[in-house]
C-alpha cells in the first residue's frame, strides 16, 4: 500500500516548502478565480479577463525596469487598463471586445519596449520568460500575504455586489428598470477582476490565470444553471485541478524526455480542459434527451407549430 502510494506521490511532496506555498496560493487563486470567473463568463468578458493579465505584464516589466516590486506594477497596470477599457464605455460585446483589444495591443507594445530595455540594461535573463509564463513553484514568499489579502478584497467586493451584479449580468434592461446603476457596477466589477487577475497572473503566470478564471466557470455553467451552485462547482473544479496538477508536476521530475519536470501549467490546463469537455458533452446529451422527452409528449402540438418543424426557413428570405 505504501509502495503504491509512493509510486503515485513522490517522496518529499508533503515536506517540501515550495510545494506547501504552491498548494496554498494555488487554492486561494483558484477559489477567487472561480467566483470572479462565473461572472466573467456570464457577462461575456472573457477577453477582458485574459487581457488584463497581459496588461499587468506591462506593469510588471516596467516595475522590473525601475526596480520596484513587480507586484505593484502588475496591479497598477491592470487597474489602469481596466479603467481605460471602462472609459471607452461600450455596452455591446462586439465593440467592448474591440476596445479591450486596442488597450491590449497598446499595452503589449509598451511591454515589448520595457522587456527590450530590461534585457539591455540589467542582465535579467529569465525576465521575459518569468513574466510571461510565471511559475507556481517559484512564488516569492514575502508577497504571499499581500496576494491572499488582496484576493480576499476582490472576493468581498464581489460578495457585496452579488445580487445587483448578477441581475445586471443576466439582464441589463431589467437591471436598468429596477434602478440598478449598471455602469458603476460594471466598472467596479472590472476593477475587482483586474485585481484578481493581475495577482493570479504574477503568482502563477498568465496561462494559468486565464485557465483558472474561465475554464472551471465555463464547465460549471454547463453543469448547472444556478449561479451560486455554479460558483461552488467552479471552485471545486479549480482547486482540484490545481492540486492534482501540482502533484503531477512534482512527480514528473523524473519523467522523460528531459528530466527536469513538466510545467505545472500544462497539467492544470489539461485537467481543466478535460473536465470541461466531460461537462460539455454530458450536458449536450442531457439536453438532447430532455428535448426528445418533451417532443415525445407534444408530438401533436409540434405538428401544428411550424417553428419546430425541420423545414428550412426558405420562405423568409427567398425573393
Partner 1 sequence: MFSGFMVNTWLVATMVAVIAGVVGTFAVLRGSAFVAHAVPQAGFAGAAGASLVGLSTVWGLAVFAVMSALGIGWLSRRGRHDAMTALGLVVMLGLGALFLSFSNEYEPAIFGLLFGEVLGISNNDVLVTAVLGVLCVTAIAVLYRPLLLSSVLPEIGEARGVDSRTMKVCFLVVVALATTMTLPIVGALLMFSLMIGPAGAARSFTRRPLPALGLSVCLAVATVWIAIAAAYEWNWPIGFFVGGLGAVFYIAGRCWARSREARVSRLAAAT
Question: Which residues of the chain form contacts with partner 1 (CB under 8 A)?
Answer: 40-41, 44-47, 49-51, 88, 93-95, 97-98, 100-113, 115-116, 119, 125-126, 128-129, 132-133, 206-208, 210-211, 213-215, 217-218, 221, 257-258, 260-263, 265-266, 268-270, 272-273, 276, 280, 284, 312-314, 316-317
Give the shortest CB-24-to-partner 1 separation in angstroms. Answer: 22
Closest to partner 1 by CB, 16 vs 270, is 270
Closest to partner 1 by CB, 116 vs 178, is 116
Contact 77, 107 (CB under 8 A): yes
Closest to partner 1 by CB, 285 vs 303, is 285
DSSP character string of 254-309? G-TTTSS---HHHHHHHHHHHHHHHHHHHHHHHHHHHHHHHHHHTHHHHHH-GGGS
* Residues found in the chain: 319
Give the shortest CB-256-to-partner 1 separation in angstroms. Answer: 10
Task: Tell me which DSSP letter residue 226 carries.
Answer: -
Give the shortest CB-133-to-partner 1 separation in angstroms. Answer: 6
Element spanning 28, H or E: helix 17-43
Closest to partner 1 by CB, 3 vs 317, is 317
Give the shortest CB-37-to-partner 1 separation in angstroms. Answer: 9
Distance of CA 186 to the CA centre of its chain: 17
Range 160-180 burial, b when 16+ CB lie within 10 A, else e:
ebeebbbbbbeeeeebeeeeb
Closest to partner 1 by CB, 152 vs 275, is 275
Residue 45: name the closest of 222, 179, 196, 238 by CA: 196
Q: Return the sign of the alpha-carbon dihedral for residues 252, 254, 256, 260.
A: positive
| Calpha distance 74→229 (Å, rounded) | 31
Cis check: omega of the bond before 63, within 30 degrees of 0: no
Give the shortest CB-281-to-partner 1 separation in angstroms. Answer: 11
Closest to partner 1 by CB, 163 vs 319, is 319
Closest to partner 1 by CB, 156 vs 281, is 281
| Calpha distance 48→84 (Å, rounded) | 12
Give the shortest CB-300-to-partner 1 separation in angstroms. Answer: 28
- C-alpha distances (whole Å) from 146 to each of 32, 75, 298 are 14, 11, 58
Give the shortest CB-101-to-partner 1 separation in angstroms. Answer: 4
Give the shortest CB-64-to-partner 1 separation in angstroms. Answer: 15
Closest to partner 1 by CB, 18 vs 106, is 106
Contact 55, 81 (CB under 8 A): yes
Distance of CA 127 to the CA centre of its chain: 23
Amino acid at each position: 500500500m505504501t509502495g503504491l502510494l509512493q509510486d503515485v506521490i513522490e517522496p518529499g511532496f508533503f515536506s517540501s516548502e515550495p510545494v506547501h506555498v504552491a498548494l496554498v496560493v494555488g487554492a486561494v487563486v483558484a477559489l477567487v478565480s472561480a467566483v470572479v470567473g462565473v461572472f466573467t463568463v456570464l457577462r461575456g468578458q472573457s477577453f477582458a479577463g485574459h487581457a488584463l493579465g497581459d496588461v499587468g505584464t506591462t506593469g510588471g516589466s516596467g516595475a522590473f525596469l525601475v526596480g520596484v516590486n513587480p507586484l505593484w506594477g502588475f496591479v497598477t497596470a491592470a487597474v489602469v487598463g481596466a479603467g481605460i477599457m471602462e472609459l471607452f464605455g461600450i455596452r455591446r460585446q462586439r465593440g467592448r471586445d474591440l476596445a479591450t483589444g486596442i488597450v491590449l495591443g497598446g499595452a503589449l507594445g509598451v511591454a515589448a519596449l520595457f522587456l527590450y530595455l530590461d534585457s539591455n540594461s540589467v542582465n535579467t535573463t529569465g525576465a521575459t520568460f518569468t513574466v510571461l509564463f510565471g511559475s507556481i513553484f517559484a512564488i516569492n514568499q514575502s508577497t504571499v500575504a499581500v496576494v491572499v489579502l488582496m484576493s480576499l478584497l476582490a472576493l468581498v467586493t464581489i460578495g457585496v455586489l452579488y445580487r445587483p451584479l448578477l441581475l445586471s449580468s443576466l439582464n441589463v434592461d431589467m437591471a436598468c428598470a429596477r434602478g440598478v446603476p449598471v455602469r458603476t457596477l460594471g466598472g467596479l466589477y472590472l476593477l475587482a477582476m483586474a485585481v484578481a487577475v493581475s495577482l493570479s497572473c504574477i503568482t502563477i503566470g498568465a496561462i494559468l490565470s486565464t485557465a483558472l478564471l474561465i475554464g472551471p466557470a465555463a464547465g460549471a455553467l454547463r453543469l448547472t444553471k444556478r449561479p451560486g451552485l455554479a460558483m461552488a462547482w467552479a471552485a471545486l473544479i479549480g482547486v482540484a485541478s490545481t492540486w492534482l496538477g501540482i502533484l503531477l508536476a512534482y512527480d514528473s521530475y523524473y519523467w522523460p524526455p528531459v528530466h527536469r519536470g513538466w510545467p505545472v501549467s500544462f497539467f492544470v490546463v489539461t485537467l481543466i480542459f478535460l473536465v470541461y469537455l466531460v461537462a460539455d458533452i454530458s450536458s449536450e446529451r442531457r439536453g438532447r434527451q430532455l428535448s426528445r422527452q418533451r417532443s415525445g409528449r407534444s408530438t401533436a402540438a409540434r405538428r401544428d407549430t411550424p417553428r419546430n418543424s425541420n423545414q428550412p426557413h426558405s420562405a423568409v428570405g427567398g425573393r
